[in-house]
Amino acid sequence: MFFVSLGKFRRKPTKEATDKVSELMKGMEKEGIRFLGFYWTLGRYDTVVIMEAPDEKAVMKANISVNDIVATETMTALTRDEAHNLIQ
């Protein structure tokens, strides 16, 4: 399953906080989450993360682990072809 997660920093980001997130991401990868893209953005959200995970529970657990650093809004995603096949 694919997921897109939009993030908003809870406070000004620091090298220490970003290093902590990097370490947490390594742990998430061991849980089966594969990061396809991680971007810092301008505008309403500070980050966009695109990932593939076995299920929603794995992503929820991952989001909980970074909750003290970033507030997230996560959406499930389908490829264009998968979505196209749903159209009748």
- Residues 21-48 pLDDT 10s: 999 999 999 999 999 999 999 999 999 9
* Dmax (CA) of the chain: 50
pLDDT at residue 81 in the model: 94
Residue 7 confidence (pLDDT) above 90: yes
Q: Is pTM beyond 0.85 here?
A: yes
pLDDT at residue 88 in the model: 82
pLDDT at residue 1 in the model: 94
Say how far apart CA 70 and CA 17 lie, in whole Å.
10
User: Averaged over 3-21, what is the pLDDT?
Assistant: 95
Say how far apart CA 45 and CA 5 lie, in whole Å.
10
Does residue 88 contact residue 22 with C-beta atoms inside 8 Å? no
Decide: helix, strand or coil at residue 8.
strand
Q: Which residues pair with 3 in a beta bridge?
A: 51, 76
